[in-house]
Amino acid sequence: MVERRGRVGGRLAVAAVRPGTGAAAVRGGGLFVTASVVKVDLVAALLVQRGGGAGGLTAGERELAEAAIVRSDNSAASELYRRVGGAPGLDAAYRALGLVETTAGRDGYWGLTTTGVGDRVRLLRQVFAADGALPGRRWLAGLMGRVVPEQAWGVSAAGATGLKNGWLPRSATGLWVVGSFGALADGTLVAVLSDGWREMAQGVAAVETAARWAVAAVGTVGAVGAVGTVGRGDRTGGGS
């Protein structure tokens, strides 16, 4: 799959899936920096390592997880990154969770983890779908349902009630990374990743437009099917 470029210069990929039906809507592709989206990964990795769900975590670890997801606290994320064993521990968790295109950020830079929308949906399925195998998935889903109101943009525009967003101005370019992924009450999973925006607001608007498109599109596919899929070597034009 290849990159999708918007009218204002951003790059964007989006995927929505309705588990159990085969219905999917996808546009764009490629790998993106996660920014704070990875905080869900950090908590998931800790749950994988500890086993036993939320009850397998210490009270302090549960507090760190809540701070990282609900308030997007960076210090809490840094401590979670340390506790899961840094990049090697996070990468091992990705393998255990069946994520195939995500690589942990090195040397403490957890926000520079790279991922694709396919893996974002795979992780959402582990957390929200009835067949998800992540220990403590309902507890983590609950944290994603309590994101503070000022951070509840992105896929919430398409109806997601449990979500996590990420936003980051890249020091090398000054351009913004903006991403969002989450689940709707009907079980639909949606993920949007983007970068290259001159302003964060441009990225947020593009992410929300893409999320609305994907969720609406997956609802029109029917019991089984896919729409808007971009194959390797294909390109899409226009905005987000």
Q: Are 141 and 128 in contact (CB under 8 A)?
A: yes
What is residue 224's predicted lDDT score, i.e. its pLDDT?
Answer: 37
State how far the Cα of 27 lies from the Cα of 214, in Å rounded to an integer.
8
Beta bridge partners of 182: 163, 190
State how far the Cα of 21 lies from the Cα of 220, in Å rounded to an integer.
12
pTM for the predicted model, two decimal places: 0.89
Confidence category of residue 240, pLDDT binned at 50, 70, 90: very low
Residue 145: phi and psi, rounded to 5, are: -85, 0
Q: What is the mean pLDDT of the chain?
A: 90
Q: Which two tokens stand for residue 232?
A: 């390797």
Percent of the chain with pLDDT over 90: 85
Helix (H, G, I), strand (E, B) or coil at 108: coil
Is the pLDDT confidence value at 164 over 70?
yes
pLDDT tens-digit map of 205-223: 999 999 999 999 998 754 3
CA-nearest of 236, 238, 227, 231 to 26 is 227
Angle between helices 117-128 and 38-50 (to 10 degrees): 50
